[in-house]
Every structure is written in C-alpha cells, then in structure tokens.
Structure 1
Amino acid sequence: MMLIKIFPATITDFKTIQEVGKETFFETFAASNTEEVMQQYLQSSFSTEKVKSELANSNSLFFIAWDDHMPIGYLKVNMNGAQTELQENESLEIERIYVKADYHGKKVGQLLYDQAINVAIQHQKKSMWLGVWEENPKAIRFYEKNGFVPFSKHSFKMGEEEQTDILMRKLLV
C-alpha cells in the first residue's frame, strides 16, 4: 500500500519544485500546445530564479507530496499580495495542485487539496479561489466535487495564444 506524506517545502526544495512542476505541466498541457510554446513556458515559469523567489515569498506556501523518497506532486497557495488576481485578504488562492500522471486517481490531489483547506483554516480565511483551464474537465470536476463554483473567467497566455481559465470559489464560513 502506498503511504503518501505531505511536507512543507523550503527554499532548499527548489529543484524538486522545478522538476515536478515541469514534468506535471508538460504531461497535462503538451498535447494542447506546440513544443516551442511549451519549452518557452517551462523555462520561464520554472526557472531557478522564479522558483526561488516564489519559495522565498512569505505569502506563498508550498507543500510537496512524497511517495517514500520520491516527490510525486506539490501544492502552492497564495495569500494577501501574493495572490495572482483577487488579492483579497480574507481569501486563499490555490495557484497549483500538480500531481504526476502516474499518481492520478490515487487521491494525491485530494491530499494536497486537504492541505490547502488546513492552511486556509489556520489563517482564518473566509474563502478559497483558483483558476482552472476551461479545457481541463478532469480538474474542473475535481474542484466542483470539492464545493467550488465558477464566478468569473480570465485569460492565460501560452505563447501568443490566449487561453481561458475559469475562476472558481469556495466559501469556508
């Protein structure tokens, strides 16, 4: 039986975040984008400088899911000014729940999501929100199952292409 453990990440975990981030993003979105666009996005979004600065931001928290000694996914949540969009002090943003494809359907995403709920409660947040790509029905169903409802949309740029994310929210109180 698999025993998944989740631990907070620190600046020393930047390589793990980079590797898991690149791998999971590529697995999820490569089929919908050109190789060139994917490589540009992966290089800029998961560069050492960017990942280290995100890990150093006290309003962003990272948690890594481990299967024994192997990292299999991670969670990134943002509070206050670190939020990508709403910047509401009473809200917590789930920016990323990334899980390696081999672990889809094994409750790893749910464990990471539960960790986000715990952070929101610890920080006395009234709601949680996130953006999810409109072409990712599996993720949308996951969030709906966990009580999120759509409230808006925003554009996400992949290369020159505008993609649409559905913004979803869950009230906690």
Structure 2
Amino acid sequence: MASIIINTASTEDLETIQSLGRQTFSETFAESNSEEAMKTYLDESFSTEKVKLELNNPDSHFFIAWEEDNPVGYLKLNSGAAQTELKDDDTSLEIERIYVKKSHHGQKVGQLLYDKALESAQSLGKNYLWLGVWEKNLRALSFYRKNGFEEFGSHTFTLGNDDQTDLMMKKILD
C-alpha cells in the first residue's frame, strides 16, 4: 500500500467529495436499505448544490484521504451552526462523516481521518468531539469505542421511509 496523504478539501474537490460520498455510503448501507431509499438519499445528500453549500460553509471542514492520485476516503467536520444536532458552538466539534472506500477498510485510512478530526478539535480549542452512528454499523461502533467514544443518547435518522436509530457518542478531550 502506498502512503496515505490527508489534504484539506476545497470547492475544487466538489466532484471528488460527491463521488466518494456516493460510493462509500452505498458500499456501507446498500445491503441494509431499499434501492429507492438509497437513491433518494444519495441524490439529496450529494447533489451539486448541497455539497457546494457545505464546502462553502466556514463552519464545515472537509479532508480527503489520497493514495497517490486516488481518493480513498474523506472526513467532514462541523462546528458552530453547521452541527447537525448539539450546536454546542464553542465547546464541541461534530464528526459528521468518516467514509472510507471498502477496498481500503483495514488499512488505517479511517484512523488517519479520525486523527485529523482530533487534531482539528484540539487546534480549535474544543472540549469534546461527538457524532451519530447507526446502531447496526458494528464496524463503526467498534472503531469509535476503540478511540475512546462513549454513548450519551440516540436520535432518529430517516432513510427513505425507514426510521433508523443512530447512537450519539462523544469523546471528552484532555
């Protein structure tokens, strides 16, 4: 495996973010959801307009993991008003997405992206990181627990007509 480089994404990376988002979300969740629900979610969540707005939001931060010229994963962080739930402006940073291509699972790409999130939270002076993760995504739950996250609640995530439970997790920073 070539070394992985993590770069800050900009509006020039819009198509890369869209492509990575669609591929990695599909690889992770298509087996457990209807084709119709997946299509609707992917069309809405990774539309050019939505991704452009997110990339231009000063409270959202994107990072892409590259293996040579191949994008293999990405990270989306939210602070302030961009946070999806807590909106604990001054004290928290949300990890909205750590997505890695299935071909690169087990190769520490997710860990490198998580390390970037941790570094970002510390440089921004945040007290804790938080996220929501689907209760049935055992791989992700194990990853976050290994990295010191603890559950503190849950919320409903709707995909198509299916209400799913996301576990809310946080990690207090030293």
- TM-score w.r.t. length of structure 2: 0.98
For residues 155 and 48 of structure 1, what CA distance do their matches in structure 2 show? 25
The CA distance in 1 between the partners of 2:40 and 2:59, in whole Å, is: 27
Task: Give the aligned partner of residue 28 of structure 1.
Answer: 28
* Structure 2 residue 70 is the aligned partner of structure 1 residue 46: no
Task: State the Cα deviation string for residues 17-44 of structure 1 (Å, max 9, x = none).
Answer: 0000000000000000111111111000
Structure 2 residue ranges without an equivalent (≥5) = none
Please, which runs of 5 or more residues in structure 1 have no aligned partner? none
Q: The residue matched to 2:88 in structure 1 has which SS?
A: coil
Write the deviation string for residues 94-121 of structure 1: whole angstroms up to 9, x where unpaired: 0000000000000000000000001001
- Cα distance in 2 for residues equivalent to 1:36 and 1:131: 23
1:83, 1:41 → 2: CA distance? 19
What is the percent sequence identity of the aligned residues?
Answer: 56
Off by >6 Å, runs of 4+ in structure 1 = none
Q: C-alpha distance in 2, partners of 1:37/1:128?
A: 29
What corresponds to 1:84 in structure 2? Answer: 84
- For 1:142, the aligned partner's letter is F
Question: Distance between the aligned counterparts of 2:39 and 2:92, measured in 1?
Answer: 32
Normalising by structure 1, report the TM-score. Answer: 0.99
> Who is 1:61 aligned against?
61
CA shift, 1:2, in A, is: 1.8
| Aligned counterpart, 2:9 | 9
What is the root-mean-square deviation of aligned Cα atoms in Å?
A: 0.5
Counterpart amino acid of residue 100 in structure 1: K
